[in-house]
Structure 1
């Protein structure tokens, strides 16, 4: 797809606001229209929230134009982990069917995402994790615990890294999974702060089953995907 000019991308953003007035529709409808018109991630392929542009530089133009028009929705307020971290992983590793299923509700905020990396014994050292996933037929069975997980209590999907080969060096033998947070065996416990708020959570996995087709990247190559 040929690059379009800054003036052309501004026109597309203005047309969106004109056709779908943000003061007349809700967040899901407006951002759904933004996605459908390729103005969610302009560098993504057409049909997946983008225009197939070579770089995301013009996305900042879209965002500025929408803010200037009074659009109140911002990625970081709506689904920061999904849009900021999940979308690129989905685009790179998910099947075509999964991309079509996941990217739009991620962008609209209908399905919130969280990141299931940190563990009590490993801190920020993702490679030191001990949560285990064992293959059982067409499913992986996961057991373990994560901590300091933002938004887990409201998330539909979790980006989970678990150890699938304990005999490999710690940067290897890990696999990246897409976890349905509503799966049986997933327990989310809020971590209450001094203020009484609970922004972070502990997440426990007790024989949680994940279908094989929800592995992103190669088995054992979760460090690269993460």
Structure 2
């Protein structure tokens, strides 16, 4: 839970004194909305991870506090989430919306959710700071395993999409197969290829980076068709 605590603290620090600022990567939000959303996510998954919440259909989050208490509320929930999850066996069964139903999914999801929203908050403060590279590579893996595979593959050509990290290990070749996705962590000649840092590849998938900010080859319409299936999250 080191990454969750680290990146949560970075978001709280960046948000202090800037709660009314717009968040360019989440156009309908202010920084207060970003902090409130992330804090609510912490509390929801804390309840699920602890076993307190087994049926999310009946879950009703409490309203977030006023802005003068928002960052304190956020940091309290952040620590509660990290402290709860770090004590649990990753293989312990728990409800999740994915096909992986254990605490390990929640631990990973919290680190990844926090990393991307910390980037949002830093960017709102004029600080374009990358996601830590190893965490970003794991984020690409998580995105392709749990978010991309929930979407239809219609329109993606057989050659698919290739992602190539330029700052360390990381290659992903995404192709349609048997009505779903096949993701191989190897080099391949896709219909479109994208090269960038591990952070930039993750931010591209989450619609924080545009393709024009990375190095691309091939049919960019294929990339846009693929990305258009996903929200900013």
Give the TM-score of the pair, scaled to structure 2. 0.31
Give the TM-score of the pair, scaled to structure 1. 0.32
**Larger % of strand: which?**
1
Higher relative contact order (CA 8 A, sep 6+): 2
Greater radius of gyration (CA): 1
